[in-house]
Copies of this chain bind each other. A is one copy, B any other.
Amino acid sequence: MGSAEPSKDTSERGVRGHRTQAERSAHTRAALLDATIDCLIELGYARTSVHEICARAGVSKGAQQHHFTTKADLMAAAVEHLTHRIGEEIVDAAGSLPPGPQRVERGVELLWQGFSGTLSAAVMELWVAARTDAELKAAIRPVDRALGKSTLALFTSLTGESPSERTETLFWLTVNLIRGLALDAEIGGDAVRRKQLLEEWKRILVGTEAR
């Protein structure tokens, strides 16, 4: 959701030493958003204050307020920034996966990597916070939906499945299972068992799909 961009382009203008305003602005914005995510991962939502965010970003209180009027604003923008980063992460992982016949296994592994990392923990914080925060929820939902759809597209294209309704169902089952497992990981569940569960799920998927 594009917030107001008063000037036109983010393109390479800074060949000379000086920075254009748009560049300065984008830079502080990014610093604030990254710091926000860091705080969410390290401190959790409850302990994340705008003071701390500003300190980590090396940005003054006023600058923060110039870019994001309220804390909810900042968090909403962080969601978007976050899902973009997760999307990139998944795409990167997809590119580095070796090709082979085991499409389904690869797909599951891919989703697991994308939805169980540290970035995912930050998303979890915001989701849970959003449950009781209507403003945040409204900001998160569309972005999350977009991430889901693009991931589904990537998933199907990677596994080479025809985009049938059944494939989609299996995809969402996988995503939800992985989210549950990610939660288990967060609270320090048994990693070995998680691995077993994931392997079993792959087996089930292959068996089910081949029917």
State whether B141 touches A188 (Cβ < 8 A). Answer: yes
- What's the minimum C-beta distance from A192 to chain B, rounded to whole angstroms? 12
How many copies, total? 2
Assess A169 versus B196: contact at CB under 8 Å? Given A131-B121, A177-B176: yes
Q: Give the interface SS of chain A, mostly helix, strand, loop or mixed.
A: helix
Stretch of A8-16, A44-52, A94-102 that contacts chain B? A44-52
Stretch of A62-70, A152-160, A200-208 that contacts chain B? A200-208
Nearest-CB residue, chain B, relative to A182: B180
In the assembly, what is the distance between CA of A197 and CA of B176, in Å? 9
A161 at the interface (CB under 8 A from B): no
Residues of B within 8 A of A22 (CB): none
State whether A131 touches B197 (Cβ < 8 A). Answer: no
Residues of B within 8 A of A169 (CB): 196-197, 200
- What's the minimum C-beta distance from A119 to chain B, rounded to whole angstroms? 14
A31 at the interface (CB under 8 A from B): no
Nearest-CB residue, chain B, relative to A200: B169
Interface positions, chain A 155-211, Cβ under 8 Å from B, are 169-170, 172-173, 175-181, 183-184, 186-188, 193, 196-197, 200-201, 204, 207-208
- What's the minimum C-beta distance from A118 to chain B, rounded to whole angstroms? 11
State whether A201 touches B186 (Cβ < 8 A). Answer: no
A130 at the interface (CB under 8 A from B): yes
Looking at A42, A175, A181, A193, the one whose CB has the most chain B CB atoms below 10 A away is A181
Can you list 6 A-B contacts with CB-CB less than 8 angstroms, sorted by A residue number?
A: A127-B183, A130-B187, A173-B201, A176-B177, A179-B180, A180-B183
